[in-house]
């Protein structure tokens, strides 16, 4: 298949392909998504094929207007409108009981559906041009770090989908915060740009943090969010998170680093490290860590890095999302030095 490269202003072209049952990669404020008509099960099935995605991992449905939600869910809890007022359009995904209109292909057979209203202007225009809600997972090959530029998408998806819309680099850089309102208590399933503290302030209730956010699922344990159980965000390199002072980090890395090693460090630390370095912003800048993480992991793949040593960032605020992705990339390998 020839994959068409579209610019961010070619909205009508993207909308037409989606209406005809095609797959289009679109920019969002978090990461690029691989979109298809969410109301057409056989079209949605093609997303799983293009990504090599496990069949039991459900997709997020993207809307442009709050009115679209009524058709997609069985019941709208009042707190949904408070959350929508505070965070939509934006990087928050909310899981609710689904309506019969949502095909099983979208929800992987679950009776709940994940809904998000993205804020990226190109994404919003494309949803409106398609005239239907769009099911869209991240536009990476399954298991690879999510794409934050059109070049990342081309690398994984060229020849497998109908079109890629280039909207420039994604601002947030990690996927949306996912919460469920379909459980007895609101629960955080995946951390993102919208933090648990911000959500608790709006819902006036505790947001339970699912064990899988910073922990590893135990053998045979059922995942509240199926995506949590896969070794995700995973570059080809072995990733090792090294927790400790810069001095101890440098000593640890410099003693071990072979020819094909690299280190992911904070701004200004490069000259302490003897191997190749990548940088993910200033030490206390959680937004920069989020924005730069996936590009750094992907660059390591492109350069054939064998082992990547990562300076351990803080896990407060958006840092919780960064640590959640890093722990999976490292398969939970942390060294304390």
The region of 134-142, 156-164, 279-287, 309-317 touching Mg ion under the rule CB under 5 A is 134-142
Q: Which residues pair with 335 in a beta bridge?
A: 242
Q: Which residues pair with 276 in a beta bridge?
A: 262
Name residues contacting ligand TXA, limited to 105-164 (CB under 6 A).
107, 110, 112-114, 116, 118, 136-138
Q: Which of 138, 180, 225, 234 binds Mg ion (CB under 5 A)?
A: 138
- Residues 204-233: x where in contact with ligand TXA by CB under 6 A, - otherwise, as a string: ---------------------xxx------
Query: CB 223 → ligand TXA: shortest distance, Å?
Result: 8
* Residue 250 or 319 having the CB closest to ligand TXA: 319
* Residue whose Cβ sits closest to ligand TXA: 227
Query: CB 189 → ligand TXA: shortest distance, Å?
Result: 6
Cα gap 266→122, rounded to integer Å: 32
- In the list Mg ion, ligand TXA, none, the entry touching 177 (Cβ below 5 to 8 angstroms by class) is none
Query: CB 285 → ligand TXA: shortest distance, Å?
Result: 20
* Residue whose Cβ sits closest to Mg ion: 138
* Residue 224 or 253 having the CB closest to ligand TXA: 224
The burial of 66, by beta-carbon neighbours within 10 Å (0-12 exposed, 13-18 middle, 19 or more buried), is given as: middle
| Contacting positions for Mg ion (CB under 5 A) | 138
| Contacting positions for ligand TXA (CB under 6 A) | 28, 30-31, 33, 57-60, 91, 93, 95, 107, 110, 112-114, 116, 118, 136-138, 175-176, 178, 189-190, 225-227
């Amino acid at each position: 298949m020839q994959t068409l490269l579209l610019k961010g202003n070619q909205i009508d072209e993207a909308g037409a392909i989606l209406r005809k049952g095609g797959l289009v990669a679109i920019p969002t404020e978090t990461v690029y998504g691989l979109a298809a008509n969410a109301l057409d099960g056989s079209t949605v099935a093609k997303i799983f094929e293009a990504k090599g995605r496990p069949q039991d991992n459900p997709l997020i449905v993207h809307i442009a207007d709050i009115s679209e939600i009524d058709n997609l869910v069985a019941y709208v809890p009042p707190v949904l409108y408070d959350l929508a007022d505070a965070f939509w359009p934006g990087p928050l995904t909310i899981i609710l009981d689904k309506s019969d209109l949502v095909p099983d292909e979208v929800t992987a057979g679950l009776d709940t559906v994940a809904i998000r209203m993205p804020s990226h202007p190109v994404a919003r225009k494309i949803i409106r041009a398609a005239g239907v809600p769009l099911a869209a997972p991240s536009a990476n090959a399954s298991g690879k770090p999510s794409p934050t530029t059109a070049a990342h998408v081309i690398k994984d998806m060229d020849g497998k989908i109908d079109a890629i819309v280039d909207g420039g680099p994604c601002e947030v850089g990690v996927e949306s915060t996912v919460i469920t309102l379909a459980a007895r208590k609101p629960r955080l399933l995946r951390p993102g740009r919208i933090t648990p503290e911000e959500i608790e302030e709006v819902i006036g209730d505790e947001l339970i943090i699912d064990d899988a956010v910073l922990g590893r699922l135990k053998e045979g344990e059922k995942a509240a969010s199926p995506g949590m159980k896969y070794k995700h965000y995973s570059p080809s390199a072995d990733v090792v998170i090294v927790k400790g002072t810069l001095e101890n980090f440098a000593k640890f890395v410099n003693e071990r680093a072979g020819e094909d090693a690299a280190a992911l460090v904070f701004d200004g630390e490069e000259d302490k490290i003897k191997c190749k370095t990548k940088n993910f912003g200033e030490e206390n800048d959680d937004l920069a860590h989020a924005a730069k993480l996936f590009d750094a992991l992907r660059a390591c793949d492109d350069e054939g890095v064998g082992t990547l040593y990562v300076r351990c960032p803080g896990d407060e605020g958006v840092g919780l999302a960064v640590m959640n992705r890093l722990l999976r990339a490292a398969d939970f390998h942390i060294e304390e030095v």
